[in-house]
Amino acid sequence: MDTHSQAAELNAHIAATLRTLREERRWSLTRTAQVTGVSKAMLGQIERGESNPTMATLWKIASGFEVSFSRFWPMTEEKPESSIRYPAVRATTFSDPDTMMNVAPLLPFDPQTRFELLVVELQPGCCRLATSHAKGVIEHVIVIKGVLEVLIDGSWQRFKRGEAVRFAADREHGYRNRSTASATFHNVIYYPR
């Protein structure tokens, strides 16, 4: 599958997931806009497949609905007790040229363990401030390539390959790469019940 087809499949899945989440909760576009902080017009465009959401917009939507970020990726769903093999990570990468950030799920959200595992790549110069996630959400960041800075409790902390940090993600946090090479990290996100 070429890059254009992958992007089209991802955007179609995002649109269908957003529509399903709204229908499950019986939320209007107005109510969804109030809860997510994303405009009614933008939500409608995403649902109709007329607009590709940015990373920031997708995080706002996930946080507003209090669902995992990987809920918006097309993944094979299987019984939790069975062995599951997932497709190659690059087949489902979400690239956001505005933030110079690429995100892909390695393991989508699992309702039994309450976590998802993402691989995140920041291009040189990338700075991404994240809005607060739902109460009790915890992130575990493990740097696998390059140098990464993470905003935790109002202070930027530097981490290099092999280093890790755990922090409460239910408050403002962020990621940046001030080096001249890309930085890649694994992000394990825990969602409480």
Judged by average pLDDT, the poorest of 60-64, 75-79, 124-128, 163-167 is 75-79
Whether 169 and 100 share a structural domain: yes
Question: In the structure, what pLDDT confidence band is assigned to residue 176 with cuts at 50, 70 and 90?
Answer: very high
- Judged by DSSP in three states, 37 sits in coil
The residue whose two tokens read 């920031």 is 56
Whether 83 shows a pLDDT value over 80: the answer reads no
Q: Note whether 102 and 65 are same-domain residues.
A: no
Residue 78 counted as domain residue: no
d(CA 158, CA 175): 10
Among residues 106, 184, 119, which one has the least CA distance to residue 145?
Answer: 184
Domain shared by 120 and 165, yes or no? yes
**Which tokens hold the place of 102?**
């690429």
CB 140 within 8 A of CB 149: no
Query: Does 136 fall in a domain?
Result: yes
User: Is the same domain home to 68 and 110?
Assistant: no
In terms of Cα–Cα distance, which of 144, 147, 185, 142 is closest to 166? 142
The residue-averaged pLDDT of 121-133 equals 91
For residues 39 and 96, membership in a common domain is answered with: no
Residue count of the chain: 193
Whole-number pLDDT of residue 93: 76
Domain that holds residue 103: 89-190
143, 162 in Cβ contact below 8 A? yes
The rounded distance, in Å, linking the Cα atoms of 85 and 65 is 27
Q: Considering only residues 193 and 156, tell me which one the structure prediction assigns the higher pLDDT.
A: 156
94 beta partners: 103
Over range 128-156, report the average pLDDT.
94
Evaluate if residue 100 carries a pLDDT over 80: yes
The closest alpha carbon to 77, from 47, 111, 101, belongs to 111
Same domain, 64 and 98: no
Q: Is residue 93 part of a domain?
A: yes
pLDDT of residue 13: 87
- Domain-located, residue 82: no
- Unique residue bearing structure tokens 């109709």: 48
For residue 12, give the DSSP letter: H
Residues 110 and 161 grouped into a single domain: yes
Q: Can you give the CATH number for the domain in which 109 is found? A: 2.60.120.10
Q: Which carries the bigger pLDDT value, residue 100 or residue 77?
A: 100
Among 17, 41, 72, give the residue marking a domain's end. 72
Give the number of domains in the chain.
Answer: 2
Q: Is the pTM of this model over 0.75?
A: yes
Instruction: Judge whether 176 lies within some domain.
Output: yes
Q: Are residues 105 and 171 in the same domain?
A: yes
